[in-house]
């Protein structure tokens, strides 16, 4: 006699919605206004272009393991659920009322995580640690964090571009993060400093590494560390390209469609470079996998 696994019983979504309609109504009431605010705000900027991608792929990461979730799900502790909602709901209202989008989105994610714990249990929450962590990249980075972190990045990128183009004979000078070339004055903004690409590249790089190399945590950490210099190098090239366009063709050309096009090309090139490095480092990945297997033996 051969034992076979019982077929998974499909979920009756209509019956589930009718049984828990108050919860569904509350979730929609919180979710829709936030999605509209994100679409009109952070997701319309270069720093937030990864947001919709993270939402879609993050939900896919969860849904693809639906059978595993249903196999181990048990209701969570009521006290923990109440405590989570007691924090999440007032915080969401505060963020929504005072237009603190980062607080609003953080509270919304906490509310959904709390509800997931209530119905599915802590074991499922622990099992879904990566999708939960990955979805946190949807939270917009506060402006004061951008200002604090991008300042040294802007100075570093400005210095690299100035020194590089000066070595090639271009009449370029720098004062802080402002570049002067042939009578033109260019300010290296946050979008050109690397942080925006750094956040997006890290999010997409995380997804790529988790899907293909998730079992090798040492190699995964090494690849994530490479995202930072790759993003900075790519954006240094971007700034240099815009300076050269300004010098040869004028400011109007550099600040037109070529500015946004350069950003897209830079991001795509950096992402492809990560894939290329991953391919070239196959021997290192295999060596680290052998170390992990030896330690587990």
Residue 192 annotated among the catalytic residues of the structure: yes
Query: Taking a C-beta distance cutoff of 8 angstroms, is the pair 177, 158 a contact?
Result: yes
Among 42, 68, 66, 67, which residue's Cα sits nearest to residue 55? 42
In SS3 terms, the chain reads as: CCCCCCCCCCCCHHHHHHHCHHHHHHHHHHHHHHHHHHHHCHHHCHHHCCHHHHHHHHHHHHHCCHHHHHHHCCCCCHHHHHHHHHHHHHHHHHHHHCCCHHHHHHHHHHHHHHHHHHHHCHHHHHHCHHHHHHHHHHCCCCHHHHHHHHHHHHHHHHHHHHHHHHHCCCCEEEECCEEEECCEEEECCHHHHCHHHHHHHHHHHHHHHHHHHCCCHHHHHHHHHHHHHHHHHHHHHHHHHHHHHHHHHCHHHHCCHHHHHHHHHHHHHHHHHHHHHHHHCHHHHHHHHHHHHHHHC
Q: Which of 96, 174, 238, 285 is catalytic?
A: 238
285 labelled catalytic: no
Which of 96, 192, 213, 285 is an active site residue?
Answer: 192
Which are the catalytic amino acids? 192, 238
């Amino acid at each position: 006699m051969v034992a076979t696994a019982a077929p998974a019983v499909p979920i009756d979504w209509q019956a589930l919605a009718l049984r828990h309609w108050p919860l569904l109504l509350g979730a929609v009431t919180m979710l829709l206004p936030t999605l509209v605010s994100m679409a009109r705000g952070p997701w319309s900027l270069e720093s937030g272009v990864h947001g919709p991608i993270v939402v879609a792929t993050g939900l896919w990461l969860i849904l693809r393991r639906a059978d595993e979730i249903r196999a181990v799900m048990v209701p969570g502790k009521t006290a923990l659920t109440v405590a989570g909602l007691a924090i999440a709901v007032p915080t969401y209202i505060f963020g929504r009322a005072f237009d603190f989008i980062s607080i609003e989105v953080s509270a919304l994610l906490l509310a959904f995580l709390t509800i997931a714990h209530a119905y599915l249990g802590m074991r499922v929450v622990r099992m879904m640690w990566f999708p939960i962590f990955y979805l946190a990249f949807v939270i917009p980075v506060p402006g004061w964090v951008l200002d604090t972190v991008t300042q040294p990045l802007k100075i570093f990128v400005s210095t690299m571009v100035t020194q590089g183009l000066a070595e090639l004979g271009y009449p370029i000078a720098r004062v802080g993060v402002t570049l002067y070339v042939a009578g033109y004055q260019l300010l290296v903004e946050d979008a050109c400093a690397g942080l925006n690409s750094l956040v997006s590249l890290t999010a997409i790089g995380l997804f790529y590494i988790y899907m293909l190399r998730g079992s090798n945590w040492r190699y995964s950490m090494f690849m994530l560390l490479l995202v930072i210099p790759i993003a900075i190098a790519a954006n240094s090239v971007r700034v240099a390209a815009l300076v050269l366009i300004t010098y040869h063709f004028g400011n109007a050309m550099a600040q037109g469609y070529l500015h946004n096009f350069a950003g897209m090309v830079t991001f795509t090139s950096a992402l492809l470079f990560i894939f290329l490095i991953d391919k070239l480092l196959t021997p290192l990945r295999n060596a680290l996998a052998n170390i992990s297997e030896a330690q587990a033996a």
